[in-house]
Structure 1
C-alpha cells in the first residue's frame, strides 16, 4: 500500500469548488485527500451533472460521481439570481482557493470571474480548468476527456501501427489535467504563504495532454515525422525485448508485460538466466541493444514459449 506520511497536509486550507464532471472534481478531490476543506457548490436543481451521468439505480448518485467527490462538503446555490451570486462572493472572502471548469464565458456572465472575486478577496487563488487555452483558435470550444486527448495528440500515438487512432482506456485528459492543476495549486499556495498574494491559474486539457505526450513531440522534432503508433511496443524504438506476452489459461486478459532497458545489457542478461538460456547472452543476434532490436521477432518467439508455461501472476513473480 502506498503511504504519504502524516495526514492533513492541507489542514486549514479552504477550497471553494464550482466544478463538475471529472477534470475539476478530480483536482479538488486530490486537495481533499491532502486535508483541505473542500466546499462543493452545486445547482439546487440536480446538483453536479456528474451525479446522474450514469444512473445505476434511480434516486442514487452515480458511481461515477462518487469516484471523484469523496471527502468534500456540498451546498447548493442558485447562481441565476443575485442572492446566489452574493453568497458565492461571501464564501470566497473566506476561501484560499476558488476553482471552476465552466464553459468559456460563463463565470464572467455570472460576475464570478477572477477580477470580480479578487475584489472580494485580493489573496485568493483562482483556478480555471478549460478545454483549450486563452488565445487558442479553439478557446471557445467545449471539451470533454476524449476531445482533450485528441487535440493534445494522445490518440495519434495510441493503437496498432496499421490501424486508426485509438482512445486509451483511462480518462487521461480529465483526471490527468485535474492532477496537474492540483500540483499547480499547491505551488500557488506555497507562494501565497510566503507573499500573501493570490493569482489566476489556468490549465487547458489540450496543453496537459501535450505535456504528457512530450516524448512524441520530441520524436517528431528529432526525426522530422510524426511519432508512429506502436501497439504494445514503444514508438521510441530501441528496446527489445519489450511487449505483451500470453499466459495460461489464455483468457482475454491473461498476458504479462515484459520490459527490458536499452541502457546496457544487465536486464537482458538477467532475463536469459531466468529463461535458463545463458547461451543467448553471447548469441550474435542478441549481443547488443541494436542487435536485439533488429531481431525482435525471434526474441518474441522465445519469450512467448516461456510465458505460456505460467499464469500471468506466476510469470510476473518470476520476472519481477
Structure 2
C-alpha cells in the first residue's frame, strides 16, 4: 500500500484565519497528521468569522482546514499547558500565526518549545520581520500586499493603488512556510535537531514581485501600475478582450511573447483573419506594437466579440497562441475536468452538507490523497488524547468537566 509523502509527521496547529491554515492544510494534504489545538467552546476564530448559519462553521474555515484533526485545550490553564507540553514531546512541527507576542505570552516561545523537544520545527507566520521596526504591528492580507510592492503596481495607470482580488499575501505566506518546513524537516534528517522558521507576508510579497524590478532597472524609476499590461516591459497584445454574450466575466486574456519576430503574433493574425498586417512595419516589433496597442486591441476585440470566451479560447489556443478565458468561481465549480482532476472536490460536511471546494493543487504520483471535510470542534479529542498521550476515559472526563478540553 502506498504511503503519503509526510506520513508519520505530526504537526501541532496553532493557526487561525488563512495564512497559517493554508500552511498546515498543505502539510495535511501531503500526509502529515495535523492536529488543530483550539479553545474549548469557540475554537479557532475563523470558525465563527463571517458565519451565516447558527451552529455551523464558516465556509472559510471549512475550505482551509480539510484533512486536519481538531482537539480542544485551554492553554491558559496550567493543566492545559501540561497537555500541550506532552503533545510537543510527541510532535515534529509546530505552526502559529497569532498576532505578535501572543504565542510568547501563552508560554510557548521557541526557546521553551526547543527545551521540551530539540527536534521540533517551530514555524511562525507574521506580517513583518521579528527583528524590524514593525515587528509588533498586526497584519492581514492587504497589509502584506501594501508593504510588499504588490499594491503599488496593481491597478490602472492613473488610478489609486489596489490590492489583488485574492488573498495571496495570506496564502502565499502559508505556502512559503510549508516549503520552509519541508526543508527544515529534511535538514533534520542530517543534523538530528530542529530549528525556527519565520515567514513574513512582507517578505513573501516582495519575493512574488521580483520581476517588477526589471522595469525599475530599465527605466530608472519605480515600477508603475500598468493595469492588464505586463509588469516587466511594455508589450502588445496584452489585455482582456470582450466576448459574447457580454457578461461581467465574458472576456479572454490574450498575450503574445515579446521576443523579436514573435511567431505567436503571426499566428494570432492568421487566426483572426488579418494576414494583411503580417508585413506592416507598425507591428513589426514588440516595441512598435506597443505604440499601436489601441489599434491592436480594437482589432482583436472585433474578432472576439463574435465568440463566447470558451469558443475564443479553444480557437486561439489551438493555434498555439497564449489565451485564457476569464473564469469565475462558478465557471471553475462547474468545470468537469477540474472535478475529475481533483482541483475541485465534493465533500460531505456533517453540518453544511455537500460542498464543492478547491482541493489539493499538488499531484504526487506515489502519494494518494482523499480530501476530507474540516473537523468539527474537538472532533478528535478522544483519538488524539488516548492514542497519542495514552489518556483513558476517566482522564478525558475529568479534563472535560474542568473545562480544560
Bin the TM-score by the shorter chain.
over 0.9
- The match for 1:3 is none
- Partner SS for 2:12: strand
- The match for 1:319 is 316
Aligned residue among 34, 39, 50 for 1:54: 50
Higher relative contact order (CA 8 A, sep 6+): 2
Q: CA deviation at 1:221?
A: 4.2
Measure, in 2, the Cα distance between the counterparts of 1:291 and 1:218. Answer: 20
Aligned residue among 241, 253, 269 for 1:272: 269
- Is 1:13 the counterpart of 2:9? The answer is yes
- Partner SS for 2:139: coil
The answer as to whether partners of 1:7 and 1:34 remain within 8 angstroms in 2 is no
Q: CA deviation at 1:239?
A: 1.8
Q: CA deviation at 1:110?
A: 1.9
Matches within 5 A, 1:85-96: 85-96=81-92
Q: Residue by residue, what CA displacement relative to the aligned partner does 1:154-194 show, whole Å, maximum 9, x if unpaired?
A: 11111111111112110011111101111111111111122
- The match for 1:45 is 41
Aligned residue among 288, 291, 294 for 2:288: 291
**Aligned residues: CA RMSD:** 1.3
Q: Residue by residue, what CA displacement relative to the aligned partner does 1:208-248 show, whole Å, maximum 9, x if unpaired?
A: 11111122234334433221111112232332111000000
Measure, in 1, the Cα distance between the counterparts of 2:287 and 2:161. Answer: 28
Q: How many residues align?
A: 315
Measure, in 1, the Cα distance between the counterparts of 2:294 and 2:230. Answer: 14
Q: CA deviation at 1:55?
A: 1.0
Matches within 5 A, 1:104-123: 104-123=100-119
Runs of 4+ in 1 over 3 A off after TM superposition: none
Aligned residue among 227, 231, 235 for 1:235: 231
Measure, in 2, the Cα distance between the counterparts of 1:7 and 1:129. Answer: 29
The answer as to whether partners of 1:157 and 1:229 remain within 8 angstroms in 2 is yes
- CA gap 1:251/1:145 in 2 versus in 1, 3 angstroms: same
Measure, in 1, the Cα distance between the counterparts of 2:224 and 2:51. Answer: 38
Matches within 5 A, 1:227-266: 227-264=223-260, 265-266=262-263
Unmatched 5+ stretches in structure 2: 318-405
State the TM-score, normalizing by the size of structure 2.
Answer: 0.76
Aligned residue among 208, 212, 218 for 1:212: 208
